[in-house]
Amino acid sequence: MSGFFGADVEQLLAQSRSTKTAGERLGEIADALVALGSSVEWTGQDADSFRDQLEGGVAPAVRESAGMLESGSRDLALHAAQQDLASDPDGRIDTSRYAELIGGEGLWSDIINGTQDAWNNPFNPFSDPMDIDDLGGRYIDTAEGQDFDPADVDISEEAIAEQTMRQGALGDCWLLSALMSVSEVNPGFLAENISLREDGTWDVTLYDDGEPVTVNVRPDQLAADGARVDDGQNDGWADDELGYMSIYEQAAINHLGPDYESVIADTPGAGLELITGQSSADDSFLGGNPTLEEFRAALSEGRPITVMSDPIHPWRDDIAGAHVYQVQSVDSSTGELIMVNPWGYTGDGAEDMPHTIRVSIEDYRANFVMAGVGSKPEDFGKPR
């Protein structure tokens, strides 16, 4: 095959801008009609009936058409962003091209999930769904899992507070970083939301649009190369124990999937919402990234914070692109953010990414595009 396949991004963006302008103009016309009708020196029953029809029928219909145009403009821009993201060999795009045209919560979730859906579409000749064999097979079939007893997985509050994350072979940093953040500020909440049943399976409470959902996880579903407890050695998964994160990861797959692709790539806020049930807007690059004081204030309230690095190319070599980190603290003496990588310890070589990085607020703005700030710990799991 040869030639171009897919949409022309520039044409999509041009049409999006034109449609947006038309929608805004229609909205202005509706307002002008109402204002003009009110300004006319006309009294009596006919005048009142005319104004009622204008304000109650005509103007709302025009505004509805304006809203449809603006919604269409946003959809066009989303398609352009998805095409751009899918076409780039590194899966990175220039977010500034779309900030003006796409707004509202869930921007990045829409883009990422839309692109993910396109690549996983059965009509996509490059689509190759991931199965458990791609993740090392079943954990219970490995040498270390032969005598596995679900009761050996420590899901106590103390263990959850102390354990260090090691992300496995799945690209679910958005979920694992959220778990890291929540485990640091309220490990008891996670301990309450995971339990071992008498039949040797676990029940995990996740949240769907703020509503609690109980998800069952079986030991035979856990992948060998899934999330584990980091033992501090860069020797793969073989010596790492299963932990609460292993079970939570599979619960997310069971709830969102059942395919593994369902947990590959999402926004920082999406992870916090799934785990805590509370809203977490993550379109920060539209409204301006948090300031150092805003980070400090949120952390002082115990709010979990996760941030996503630039999907185009972070300027610093020690920051992975399109990757979600936990913001652990602020060093008041240096004014730096201290961030933790869910990959865990990957080694000390030149090609290895450090487990912990220190980032000035200037470096944050240059290397990160989005922050997910969760609710206060005492609000986790409460009705919205």
**What CATH number does the domain containing 339 carry?**
3.90.70.10
Q: How far apart are CA 50 and CA 48, in angstroms?
A: 5
* 268 in the same domain as 173: yes
What local confidence, expressed as pLDDT, does residue 91 receive? 46
**pLDDT, tens digit, for every residue of 5-38?**
567 878 888 888 888 888 888 888 878 888 887 8
Determine the residue type at 65: S
* 288 in the same domain as 367: yes
Q: At what angle do helices 9-39 and 45-53 cross, to 10 degrees?
A: 170
- Give me 55's structure tokens: 């304000």
Q: Domain tally for the chain? A: 3
* 268 in the same domain as 137: yes
Domain carrying residue 293: 276-379
* 288 in the same domain as 265: no
* 302 in the same domain as 368: yes
- Tell me, yes or no, whether 69 lies in a domain: yes
Domain-terminating residue out of 84, 102, 120: 102
**Sign of the C-alpha dihedral, residues 307, 308, 314, 319?**
positive
* 318 in the same domain as 183: no
* 296 in the same domain as 216: no
Asked whether the predicted pLDDT for residue 219 surpasses 90, the reply is yes
* 178 in the same domain as 93: no
* 64 in the same domain as 161: no
Q: How far apart are CA 311 and CA 321, in angstroms?
A: 5
Going by C-alpha positions, the residue among 322, 324, 316 that lies closest to residue 358 is 316
Asked whether the predicted pLDDT for residue 107 surpasses 60, the reply is no
- Tell me, yes or no, whether 319 lies in a domain: yes
- Contact between 305 and 327 under an 8 Å Cβ cutoff? The reply is yes
Asked whether the predicted pLDDT for residue 272 surpasses 50, the reply is yes
Q: How many helices (H) and strands (E) does the chain have?
A: 12, 10
Q: Highest-confidence range of 104-113, 175-184, 253-262, by mean pLDDT?
A: 175-184
Q: What is the average pLDDT across 322-342? A: 94
Domain-terminating residue out of 259, 275, 291: 275
- Tell me, yes or no, whether 127 lies in a domain: no
**Max CA pair span of the chain:** 89
- Tell me, yes or no, whether 308 lies in a domain: yes
Return the higher-pLDDT residue of 118 and 363: 363
* 268 in the same domain as 141: yes
Residues in contact with 281: Cβ distance below 8 Å, sequence separation at least 6, in sequence order: 105, 269, 372, 373
Return the higher-pLDDT residue of 293 and 130: 293
